[in-house]
Structure 1
Amino acid sequence: FNLQTGYEIGSFSGKGSPFASSLINSENASVSNELNNYDFFVSSEIEVSDNWSLKPGVRISFSNIFSPQHMISVSSRIDLKNDYELRTIIGSSNRTPSYDELYTFFVDVNHNFQGNPELDPEQGYSVFTHLKKKFNFKNDAVLNSKLSLTYLDLKDRIEFIIVNVNPLESQSNNIDSYKFAGLFFENSYNQGRFKGSFGFGAQAISKILDSNSDAQDDFLYNVQLNSNITYTIPKWNTSATVYFKHVGTQEQFVQKQNAQGEFTFERGQTDPISFLDASVRTTFSKNKLIATIGVRNLLDIDTVNTSAFDGGAHNDAPSQLPLAYGRSFFLKLNYILKI
């Protein structure tokens, strides 16, 4: 049985520039804000048996702005047969807004990001489960695999959202309801000169910005794949790497106006997209000079078809979304100085 207690104190303060007086409609007035957090926590690790341990924890957060936040969690680790390991974490996911989310004001001719002093703390809970296994093969190959399940349910989730399209303005706001469910499978492989990884992820997200509006709360789904392979030639101090990433169909609700002038929410889609990069890395002068040559976006992707945007007052919705500037080549040189 182990017991751990501790505390964490954060103090943030900031002042606006002379131009900030216009924000509060008062001349020669200074704008200053302060956020102080005082957190206290206690946790313990209990060895229930030789292959099972529990770790409960409690955290209390005090602030000069918000009411106290209480967070609890329980973590469990079970060592199963054949070197399998199962971890589960269940707990509350409460969080107070950060200083930047509350008071940021970054506005110029090209940007408009604003905080929101009226934000509420996030409230919710989360569940994480991981199943891990290390495989050893006769040819000295090693495979590490991890299967993860994630679920997150939040009220008043804090995000930067677009509050005005023209001109473009973003502000941190609370989302009334946010739910996230994910399945992830990660693998890393190592055998002599070969090293690689492969990952798969499937996620579903549901958002309701305003629960009083006629908003859609259905889950929107997305699948992603990523992998990389590296082959090393020790005699030449050289390695070659190939990266691949695939993003499946992305869904998003779009508000559109029908022939009767009524606004409805429709499910829009962005087509799947894949990216492929390759590079070769070598060293010279006793590993002091490192040269890397490669190509990005081998598939020469620049745009993707989409129906996930609505049109403006005087123009139709865009049918393509710019993503990249196409295929490109690069050369990078690093020299290591030892002083």
Structure 2
Amino acid sequence: MRIASFICFGVIVGNLYAQRDSVSVNKLDEVLLFGNEQSINSINKELFSVKTISAQQINQVGANNLADILNQQLNINITPNAADGRSTISMFGLSGDYVKILIDNVPLVSDNGYGNNIDLTQINLEDIARIEIVEGAMGVLYGDNAVAGVINIITKKSSPSKWNIRASVQEETVGEEYNFDDEGRHIQNLNISHNISDHWYTSANFSRNDFKGFKNNYFGKDYFGLSGNGVNNDGRRGYEWNPKLQHTLNTMLKYGKNDFNFFYKFNYYNETLDIYNHAINSRLQNGEYDITANDEQFISNRFRHEAQVFGKLNQVDYNLSLSYQTQTRDREKYTYDLRRQQTRRIDVSMTNQESDLWFSKGTFENLLSRSPNFNLTAGYEITYQQGYDAVASGAYSDNIAEKDLGNYDVFSQLSFAKNNWSFYPGVRLNNNSNYGSKLIWSNSANYKPAKDIKLQAVVGSAYKTPTYTNLYYELIDANHDVQGNPDLNPEDGISYLFSAEKKSLLNKDSHIQNNLKIFHFDIDDKIDRVNIGDNKFTYLNIAEYKVLGFSTENNFSYKNFQTNIGLSYTGISQSLETETSNPDDYLFSLNATAALRYYWPKAETRFSLLLKYNGELQQYFRDNETNEFVKGTQEDYSLMDASINKYFFEKRFEVTLGARNIFNVVRVNNSAITATPGHEAPETSLLFGYGRSYFLKLLYNLNI
């Protein structure tokens, strides 16, 4: 394959330049217009245990979107959907509805609401400074639905020189499928940043990601089977994983002087998803078969405007943000002529999803700055969403009415520190347009018995209001009848997270960091989709849901070598309120991660190896024949990625080559894990990947 030739070329070039004497280069530090760059939009590391993924780690593994990099993280699972191309997150066994995803502390609007259940493949990482991951309920500072945790994506806000230009291309196989025309994954990116003056900075970033789909056992868009003089409708047309084309544009204008800072960001995202029907239509006409297929195309457009003002006023640190986002998805259903390989006619053309979101948040810290032991943070958060909701692979009723949903919150967090102890009690008054007022609370306590040891306990509300989809979703066609339920109650409960961290300096070249977490979530009135008879589905508050487990992560570094070993053992208990008797014992699953990284200074080369083991999952479902509850099982599987990253020509040219999914996972045997709890699910398998793939990324970096 051509990609193999590129990889061989990269290896040869790397070996040749590794043998040259290294050229002394004065590395340019980033220009920090706002003082401490690391503090901008960051999550408070005193309140929570924050895990950070750096831009270097992202770049080293050739990660283009958020799904690429989170797939190897402990306590996180990524579930792809080959039909609509979405990849969603779960943490501690809780779905993406319980994980809030932010960009610079602002929730992202999507086709399923805002902030939660985001399609991770829609979040481009080419202009990202770092990713912060926090586990556990964070409702006081980040609102309802931040139950399992928060993922905060921090964008770059500085440039290493007066002008910086970065251009890259990335070619990637999709399993064994690759060519320059209609197979593989083809990514291009261009970034230009400019320090206009000592106080003004601007940047622009454009990315194109062309995923050509995964055929596997299918034969693509223009295939039709012939059998003698007839047409064989063998169901092999199309793709196992549908093609998707994405375009992303980010721009920023920033000003900073003394204690006043401001930036405005604009983001445009465009996605085209093609769904090719596996079945074809044929009829004999004038001695020749007329062969057509009923296909669909979905085009999503998202515009995101964001302004933030932050700084210091009379010892008070303030941060004010305002964002307006709008997203639409257009659906086109058309008849495709396979013989002529062109669209014959448009059958349906409509906008089947539209959403507008206004968001504003203000935070004021150090309100008690004159007190030596006490401090106070206070703020507000306003969100207002209007529109209607849909999903990319379904046909929708024309009777969907436009709805709106709003939250109007105020919050405060008090900190008290004395000797080696610190306490952070907090409250948030959540005012929801559907559910009235609710007090969300939390308390975090830290104890440092020694300089290198930190003990932390975080206890708080696990409060979650129904999502836009839960309330207003409507999918009615010949095969489906799924409707939202506007009478749903919010979920409530309590979350416990205890952690112990120790840092050990062995000598000047090596150190160890150990972290142990114990967690427990107890959620009442959990919302699930249920069959209410006659193959009709809706959402109901039916379950008591509990999560119990522990995890440990251990980092060791020696000179230029780093390793991370992680282990997680998580149990889930679910009791259905609609059943008189059903099992509620904990079903446990084991997950493990390992990361090995090495930097070879003389050759300016970095090596990485990432491994994740996803243990067997179990869930109870009702056997249709015996009417008894039995365990359904999803088998265990492992993922491994490897990459080599090398600089050339005084770090102006960078080559990254690697392999993803080395163990070639495509499908995982499954019986009932995706079933609605308490209802029948046939034994099947889930599509988790498109097999082993190889990538080559070439990046040119110019500082002027």
TM-score category (smaller protein):
0.7 to 0.9
Is the 8 Å Cα contact of residues 162 and 171 (structure 1) preserved in structure 2? Answer: yes
| CA 1:318–1:104: 2 relative to 1, 3 Å | closer
| CA 1:111–1:143: 2 relative to 1, 3 Å | farther
Matched, 1:43 2:413: yes
Aligned partner letter, 1:6? G
Q: TM-score, normalised by structure 2?
A: 0.41
Q: Paired residue for 1:323?
A: 688
Deviation at 1:321, TM superposition (A): 4.5
From 186, 190, 195, the counterpart of 2:553? 186
CA-to-partner distance for each residue in 1:69-109, whole Å, 9 max, x for gaps? 11222211111136211111112222223445433557899
Structure 1, unaligned runs of 5 or more: 25-30
CA-to-partner distance for each residue in 1:292-329, whole Å, 9 max, x for gaps? 21122223333444444699xxxx94365443333222
- Paired residue secondary structure (1:257): coil
Is the 8 Å Cα contact of residues 388 and 472 (structure 2) preserved in structure 1? Answer: no
Deviation at 1:3, TM superposition (A): 2.4
Q: How does 1:121-270 map to 2 (within 5 A)?
A: 121-158=490-527, 161=529, 173-258=540-625, 262-270=626-634
How many Å separate the matches in 1 of 2:527 and 2:703? 45
Deviation at 1:210, TM superposition (A): 3.8
| CA 1:337–1:99: 2 relative to 1, 3 Å | farther
Matched, 1:60 2:429: yes
| CA 1:140–1:98: 2 relative to 1, 3 Å | same
Question: Could you tell me the percent identity over the aligned residues?
Answer: 31
CA-to-partner distance for each residue in 1:244-270, whole Å, 9 max, x for gaps? 111122112132134xxx311111223
How many Å separate the matches in 2 of 1:60 and 1:50? 31
Is the 8 Å Cα contact of residues 256 and 310 (structure 1) preserved in structure 2? Answer: no
Is the 8 Å Cα contact of residues 70 and 94 (structure 1) preserved in structure 2? Answer: no
Structure 2, unaligned runs of 5 or more: 1-373, 676-680
CA-to-partner distance for each residue in 1:109-133, whole Å, 9 max, x for gaps? 9999865433221111111111011
CA-to-partner distance for each residue in 1:179-230, whole Å, 9 max, x for gaps? 0112010122222211221111000011234444543222111000001101
Deviation at 1:163, TM superposition (A): 5.2
How many Å separate the matches in 2 of 1:78 and 1:125? 22
Aligned partner letter, 1:284? F
How many Å separate the matches in 1 of 2:596 and 2:674? 40
Is the 8 Å Cα contact of residues 135 and 142 (structure 1) preserved in structure 2? Answer: yes
How many Å separate the matches in 1 of 2:627 and 2:475? 33
Aligned partner letter, 1:227? A
- Flag the structure with higher strand content: 1
Q: Paired residue for 2:88?
A: none
Deviates more, 1:1-10 or 1:68-77: 1-10
Number of residue pairs aligned between Structure 1 and Structure 2? 321
C-alpha RMSD over aligned residues: 3.4
How many Å separate the matches in 1 of 2:527 and 2:658? 39
Looking at both structures, which has the greater relative contact order when contacts are Cα pairs under 8 Å and sequence separation is at least 6? 2
Q: How does 1:76-115 map to 2 (within 5 A)?
A: 76-81=445-450, 83-104=452-473, 115=484
Matched, 1:279 2:646: no
Q: TM-score, normalised by structure 1?
A: 0.82
How many Å separate the matches in 1 of 2:416 and 2:537? 46
Matched, 1:23 2:402: no
Is the 8 Å Cα contact of residues 663 and 692 (structure 2) preserved in structure 1? Answer: yes
Is the 8 Å Cα contact of residues 397 and 474 (structure 2) preserved in structure 1? Answer: no
How many Å separate the matches in 2 of 1:237 and 1:128? 41
Aligned partner letter, 1:146? N
| CA 1:15–1:325: 2 relative to 1, 3 Å | closer
Q: Paired residue for 1:28?
A: none
Deviates more, 1:222-231 or 1:66-75: 66-75
From 426, 439, 458, the counterpart of 1:70? 439
- Paired residue secondary structure (2:414): strand
| CA 1:309–1:4: 2 relative to 1, 3 Å | closer
